[in-house]
Structure 1
């Protein structure tokens, strides 16, 4: 359904943000309650209908995340735009340590999938528009938010007024809805900038993902469709402008020196973009009739590709708790439901944030003892699978929710 006429409407759940996290939450609620709860999604951006080609941004979905989407009946929306990760190769530039994780060794069809966001975004937008009990307000954004004992009232930029039992912030790292209810953010600057682009290599990637640690930060290449790979290259902030100013050929040569020749020659580089790497964590995941999910809850360093996967576990857990409250004929926005969501999410959130931040600082440190230690660790993991198991389990998203 599409909402057009200005008026006042009441919903069981309103979600601010209709990108991957918000859209998945809406579709999950629809699936788990058999469309018995009314959901509104407020999204500011209309998906671009031009084919993104080399300029598409991608995310890596872990095996566990793909399974969650499959269980919710949502996987078919993204499967056409998915490229399987069969192997993950981890190395430390200039040192002997390396390890590999293989889907076949684990008895799995894949370790994860790379999803091209522009394509997936259009598919999710269409799914929201066609859903039985989801109303999509797009392009729209929240300008006012007030809370009373039994409801939340929001005003949209076009003047429409909506009320709900539960408001969910899925509106990104700098969530305006969190600001409106006074939920602050902790920030930690990693003092790195991520350069992103899509590249073509002379050798086929064959479903292999690479994470290579360097003095300035990690370099990751993830397999994509049409033989391309998605690049995330972390550099020092003062280096980023110079890298962006290079010609495509010069940039490819610099990347070749840093990444090496495991995929042969780097033949083509698409449009480059950059963003600063800052850990942001909402100080609260819940408040009165208010829940926070996805990047609004936390944005992580892209090392080990944990950010969206952690956010997806937020989303699915919240959807499950909302469905449970509905089944028990309880108010789906009450504090009992919100406390259950918080209790289930805190351990995973704390462990994942600690792991990613520890990897960033551990592999960016150039001191000889630490460098030796991490390389011995990588080498040991390649020999003793038991040492690799905890990292592999979290990388695959097979963690308690």
Structure 2
């Protein structure tokens, strides 16, 4: 079976890549996905993610946004504060003369939309449920051997199979690991009054608390904390959980009335040593996995996808070294800057050393009144890089 590109992994990065390659570059694509139902997929679970304005523009370019927008919740303002201290900052769509700052989508809804669109696309074949077990790299092509025994032949294999990438394992592409010694506790909460499409990032002594607006009066909660606190939090009753969250966040959104199921995962920065190999490229979480502190993870991943699509559209041989080298070089600055910014924010805002507390609050105050330094940060937050 001959393809221009074989995509390993059919979650958001892999599915977006496959559909974009078909629609904008007329490439023949195979997608290999292990989970037959999107609701079982760890990439399409009960979480919600914030798409930046730049990511929305890219999804619109790939004719994907219309199918997602009906279930998306716009973000009209972002508020950033440090619990127990004076400084805070933020910005709104109106201030920046933008229609919105971004939007929140529920991954389960995204999974259903993508699955339908992948199945309908004549340029895409989906091999699901199936998984890669071996790679055969030849000078002019590459073969992906699947668990089912199927052999796919293509010009390029793209690893979009997450932080524990099987493709990386097969070619021995190691990753660096920066352990933040925190866990993310995630849940959906419901308020007693409308959220008015506001998003919040509040830094506490335990770690950042992020709240993203969802449909109705719901918000998606990401609460970062040490493992010792996580064990306590998972044992709390729902009433105690809401009381503890109220104390940490405050009353700016009114009362937290309800909380759904809880889930958690460790927070680490993973970075692959190489973005490209012979006829292989890495995108999304297979390339790097970020701390959620600034909501940059998928937005960086979709810029990986866009960078690869733009380069592949210019080449007949998608796996040619010059093609992959161009993709690698084009992504380096954005990748390094976003990873560095995310890690720095974690270190700065998870530190109770008094000089650091004073310095970060001074920094927030200066940021709020100094337009000259706001531009680069706001542009990266909006994904306009």
* Matched position secondary structure for 2:70: helix
Of residues 188-197 and 233-242 in structure 1, the stretch that sits farther from structure 2 once superposed is 233-242
Partner of 2:324: 338
For residues 145-184 of structure 1, the aligned pairs below 5 Å read: 145-184=135-174
Shift of 1:56: 2.4
Matched, 1:208 2:194: no
Partner of 1:28: 20
TM-score normalized by structure 2?
0.97
* Matched position secondary structure for 1:96: coil
Partner of 2:304: 314
> Do the aligned partners of 1:243 and 1:251 also contact (CA within 8 Å) in 2?
yes
For residues 252-263 of structure 1, the aligned pairs below 5 Å read: 252-263=242-253
Q: Distance in 1 between matches of 2:208 and 2:189?
A: 17
Shift of 1:389: 2.0
Shift of 1:203: 2.2
Q: Distance in 2 between matches of 1:31 and 1:65?
A: 17
Q: Distance in 2 between matches of 1:245 and 1:77?
A: 39
Partner of 1:127: 117
Shift of 1:87: 0.3
Of residues 387-396 and 247-256 in structure 1, the stretch that sits farther from structure 2 once superposed is 387-396
Q: Distance in 2 between matches of 1:324 and 1:74?
A: 22
For this pair of structures, how many residues does the alignment match? 381
Shift of 1:46: 2.5
Shift of 1:352: 0.3
Equivalent residue for 2:343, pick from 347, 350, 357: 357
Matched, 1:64 2:40: no
> Do the aligned partners of 1:98 and 1:378 also contact (CA within 8 Å) in 2?
yes
TM-score normalized by structure 1?
0.93
> Do the aligned partners of 1:47 and 1:118 also contact (CA within 8 Å) in 2?
no
Structure 1 segments of 4 or more deviating over 4 A? Answer: none
- Where do 5+ consecutive residues of structure 2 fail to align? none
CA RMSD of aligned residues (A): 1.2
- Where do 5+ consecutive residues of structure 1 fail to align? 1-8
Partner of 2:355: 369
Q: Distance in 2 between matches of 1:71 and 1:184?
A: 33
* Matched position secondary structure for 1:315: helix
* Matched position secondary structure for 1:146: strand
Partner of 2:376: 390
CA offsets per residue over residues 335-357 of structure 1, 9 Å max, x none?
01000100100000000000000
